[in-house]
Amino acid sequence: MTADSRPARYAYLGPQGTFTEAALLTLPGAAGAEHVPYSTVPAALEALRTNEVDTAVVALENSVEGSVPTTLDELATGEPLQIVGEIHLPVSFALLVRPGTTLDDIKTVASHPIAQPQCRRWLLDNVPDAEWRAATSNAEAAQHVADGHYDAALAGSFAAARYGLSVLAEDIHDVADAVTRFVVLNRPCMPPAPTGTDKTTVVAFIGEDHPGALLEILTEFSVRGINLTLIQSRPTGAGLGSYLFWMDFEGHVSDARVGEALMGLRRICADLRFVGSYARADETRPEIRRGTHDTDFTEAAAWLAAIRTPGA
The nearer residue to a second copy, 30 or 248, going by C-beta atoms, is: 248
Nearest approach in angstroms of CB 77 to a second copy is: 10
User: Which of 12, 158, 274, 278 is the binder for a second copy (CB under 8 A)?
Assistant: 274
Please choose, out of 15-23, 99-107, 147-155, 189-197, the segment that lies near a second copy by the rule CB under 8 A. 189-197
Task: Give dist(CA 87, CA 79) in Å, integer.
Answer: 23
User: Which of 6, 78, 149, 189 is the binder for a second copy (CB under 8 A)?
Assistant: 189
Please choose, out of 3-11, 25-33, 164-172, 300-308, the segment that lies near a second copy by the rule CB under 8 A. 300-308
Nearest approach in angstroms of CB 51 to a second copy is: 17
Strands 198-206 and 271-279: antiparallel
User: Which of 7, 69, 164, 196 is the binder for a second copy (CB under 8 A)?
Assistant: 69
Q: Which of residues 152-181 bind a second copy (CB under 8 A)?
A: 175, 177-178
Nearest approach in angstroms of CB 102 to a second copy is: 25
Contact by Cβ (8 Å): 109, 133: yes
User: Which of 79, 147, 282, 283 is the binder for a second copy (CB under 8 A)?
Assistant: 282
The nearer residue to a second copy, 55 or 236, going by C-beta atoms, is: 236
Please choose, out of 24-32, 48-56, 148-156, 291-299, the segment that lies near a second copy by the rule CB under 8 A. 291-299
User: Which of 101, 108, 242, 297 is the binder for a second copy (CB under 8 A)?
Assistant: 297
User: Which of 2, 7, 34, 39 is the binder for a second copy (CB under 8 A)?
Assistant: 39
Q: Does 50 bind a second copy (CB under 8 A)?
A: no
Q: Does 151 bind a second copy (CB under 8 A)?
A: no
Task: Give dist(CA 137, CA 115) in Å, integer.
Answer: 9
How many degrees, rounded to 5, is the angle at CA 156 between CA 151 and CA 159?
75
Q: Which of residues 208-267 bind a second copy (CB under 8 A)?
A: 209-212, 214-216, 218-223, 225-228, 230-233, 237, 240, 245, 253-254, 259-260, 262-264, 266-267
Q: Which of residues 80-139 bind a second copy (CB under 8 A)?
A: 112-114, 116-117, 120, 132-137
Nearest approach in angstroms of CB 219 to a second copy is: 5
The nearer residue to a second copy, 104 or 208, going by C-beta atoms, is: 208
Q: Is the four-CA dihedral 150, 156, 161, 167 of positive or negative sign?
A: positive
Strands 82-90 and 198-206: unpaired
H/E/C letters for each residue in the chain? CCCCCCCCEEEEECCCCCHHHHHHCCCHHHCCCEEEEECCHHHHHHHHHCCCCCEEEEEEECCCCCCHHHHHHHHHHCCCCEEEEEEEEECCEEEEECCCCCHHHCCEEEECCCCHHHHHHHHHHHCCCCEEEECCCHHHHHHHHHCCCCCEEEEECCHHHHCCCEEEECCCCCCCCCEEEEEEEECCCCCCCCCCCEEEEEEEEECCCCCCHHHHHHHHHHCCCCCEEEEEEEECCCCCCCEEEEEEEECCCCCHHHHHHHHHHHHHCCEEEEEEEEECCCCCCCCCCCCCCHHHHHHHHHHHHHHHCCCC
Q: Does 193 bind a second copy (CB under 8 A)?
A: no
Q: Does 78 bind a second copy (CB under 8 A)?
A: no
Q: Does 308 bind a second copy (CB under 8 A)?
A: yes
The nearer residue to a second copy, 37 or 191, going by C-beta atoms, is: 191
